[in-house]
Structure 1
Amino acid sequence: MRQEIAVEKVLESLKKDHSVRSVFLKGSMGRKEHDEHSDVDLYCLVAEGEENEFLTRRLDHLKAYKDLIFYDDIFIIAPQIIAIYEDWLHIDLFTVTEKTFQEKDFFTVLYDPDDLMGKYQSTQNLELSKEQFIENLLDAAWFLFQHGKAAARGNDTWAVEMLRHCMRNVTTILLARYAKERAVLGLKTIHRDLPQDLQDRVVEIYEEMTPSRHGDAARKIASLLESEFDWICGEMGEDEVSSFMGLMIERVLENKGEQ
């Protein structure tokens, strides 16, 4: 596939850069789950103190594959260039050091002459931390609450958006139970990691998330959460977050027939 060809050509350029100490893949290619539609999450680990110098050379390395039709220089988890090529391939090139490398997600090492990545192999995972799980629970309940306010004032488009935010968290909660080793991947992986009956329920909810039917979607979300609530409480115990979730489930289901 073109992803492998692009990675090979960019890698050969990166190997010649004196600041580059290791090159590796994350994302779907790093997990060896990519297809012809996947983008490339390419990481360079550079020497401490040389990162600013390296940043000025990133575009030259990326152009070793093909000419770019668009790029953007941003910072989310690390300095990053979003690059789109004339064949519409998309590469995200991240720059990290040993101090800024984040020990999440699995990776595939492409170049590592000093075995710097070896110490990180055992720490890679896609499980939610306890704090992340709590945050997802809180956000799922919170956006159900916000949906109710938007629906009550007749702001149907915003009500739909609140449910979309809610479902991003709900699907991560489901993954934490049914595929905990991949839960961080969230919504985009449910088609392969959730049981089929749950996939079907999620699809039904999304089909209802329209300006005229979002009330039904909210009730289906609450029903789905209700079916998982005993497990949630078992994970959380009796605390404010699970109590808030329980109250929101009860409130939405009691509003049957209302928008």
Structure 2
Amino acid sequence: MEQYRIAEIIAESIITDELAQVIFLKGPLARQETSYTVTLYVMVSEQQFAGFQERRNLYLSAYGSLVYQAYTDDLAIGIYENGLRIDLFSLKTGPYFPDDDILIIYDPQDHLANYQKFSSSFEPQEIGALLNSFCIKARDYQEAYQKKDEVLSFYLSCILLEGYAILKRIQFDPELAKLGLKYYFRKIDREEKLKFQEILRKLNLESSAEAVKRMFLGLDQFIGNLPIAIAEHINFEFYFDTKKRIMSIV
């Protein structure tokens, strides 16, 4: 895959300069999944950090000509003529707690030898927070809808779709729930897939309220079968009051 070739060429260029202490891929490519974006992290010592930042253009250009490039304090973005993209992140050496899967390319001093593999599942308290956030956004949706603010209410319904999808994924694919909408249909059963597709069909300016109502109907099944460890973090009163408000929309 050409994306790995980009990572290899840029990593070799960085290693040659002897500025990096750790280099690793993060995200889909670390999981051997397809992605047009190469997300590459470089850990650099405090003393070498400024020198590394100054040479980021050379590293990005090592693979080929750039049609676009942009730089911030910790990120260099490059897009190549073949459409592939590199996001080159720079970190100062220190403890690192990954929020996604990583694949170590270079770590001669074993800085990441004891890193904890990223978990794609949610903790019980996180699930409670997700449901609360969904309900708060649903109340925002209700207000926008009743004010006949079609654009805002449609926008909020799309945000609700993502929250709904994550909560439902906790039900049928808990180990990968943090992936959100990525590869959403891989493990979903036929009945749930049909329900989700129906919500998608209703998600437009004219029928967004129907889509949001169906989300709550789907969540009823979710919260009705929660284990005690998760249920004790759920604010059922807040959820059902929010559902009542949404179902009252006419």
Q: Scaled by the length of structure 1, what TM-score is found? A: 0.87
- Quick check: 1:243 aligned with 2:237? yes
Residue from 172, 179, 186 that aligns with 2:173: 179
Contact 1:223 1:253 in 2 (8 A): no
Q: What SS class does the counterpart of residue 4 from structure 1 fall into?
A: helix
Number of equivalenced pairs = 250
| Cα pair distance change 1:40/1:167, threshold 3 Å | same
Q: Which has the higher helix share?
A: 1
After TM superposition, give the deviation of residue 3 of structure 1 in Å.
Answer: 0.8
d(CA) in 1 for partners of 2:241, 2:233: 12
Separation (CA, whole Å) in 2 of partners of 1:197 and 1:91: 39
1:56 to 51, 54, 57: 54
What runs of 5+ residues in structure 1 fail to find an aligned partner? none
Aligned-pair CA distance for 1:12: 1.3
The residue aligned with 1:165 is 159
Deviations 1:88-139 (A, max 9, x none): 101111112343623322211112222222211x442222244432332112
Partner of 1:42: 40
Tell me the residue number matched to 2:63.
Answer: 65
User: Equivalents in 1 of 2:174, 2:125: separation in Å?
Assistant: 14
Given that 1:232 and 1:242 are in contact with CA atoms closer than 8 Å, whether structure 2 keeps it comes out as no
Q: Indicate how the Cα distance of structure 1 residues 197 and 80 shifts in structure 2: closer, same or farther if over 3 A, else same.
A: farther
Aligned partners of 1:195 and 1:52: how far apart in 2?
A: 51
Q: Please state whether the residue corresponding to 2:122 is helix, strand or coil.
A: coil
- Which sits farther off after the overlay, 84-93 or 128-137? 128-137
1:186/1:18 Cα in 2 relative to 1: closer, same or farther (>3 Å)?
A: same
Q: Give the secondary-structure state (helix, strand or coil) at the position aligned to 1:116.
A: coil
For the 8 Å contact 2:125–2:230, the answer to whether it is kept is no
1:95 aligns with 2:93: no
Deviations for 1:150-179, whole angstroms, at most 9, x for unmatched residues? 111111111111111112222222222322
TM-fit CA distance, 1:40: 1.2
Matches within 5 A, 1:1-259: 1-34=1-34, 37-74=35-72, 79-99=74-94, 101-120=96-115, 122-232=116-226, 234-237=228-231, 241-255=235-249, 258=250
Q: Distance in 1 between matches of 2:186 and 2:36?
A: 15
2:124–2:233 Cα contact (<8 Å) kept: no
Q: Decide whether aligned partners of structure 1 residues 99 and 46 sit closer, same or farther in structure 2, where only a CA change above 3 A counts.
A: same
* Larger mean Cα displacement after TM superposition, 164-173 or 100-109: 100-109
Please report the RMSD computed on the Cα atoms of aligned residues, expressed in angstroms.
2.2
Distance 1:72 1:193, change over 3 A: farther
**Percent pairwise identity:** 22
Please give the alpha-carbon distance, in whole angstroms, between the structure 1 residues aligned to 2:190 and 2:63.
40
1: CA distance, partners of 2:4 / 2:197: 33
> 2:77 & 2:126 partners in 1: Cα distance?
27
Whether the aligned pair in 1 keeps the contact of 2:171 and 2:222 (CA below 8 Å) is: no
Q: CA deviation at 1:141?
A: 0.8
| SS in structure 2 at match of 1:102 | coil
Any idea what SS the aligned residue of 1:40 has? strand
Question: Tell me, which stretches of 5 or more residues in structure 2 are unaligned?
Answer: none
Distance change (3 Å), C-alpha of 1:193 and 1:111: farther
CA gap 1:131/1:65 in 2 versus in 1, 3 angstroms: farther
Contact 1:179 1:193 in 2 (8 A): yes
Distance 1:127 1:254, change over 3 A: same
How many angstroms does 1:189 deviate by?
A: 3.1
CA contact (8 A) 2:40 2:87 kept: yes
Output the TM-score relative to the length of structure 2. 0.89
CA 132–38 in structure 1, closer or farther in 2 if over 3 Å, else same: farther
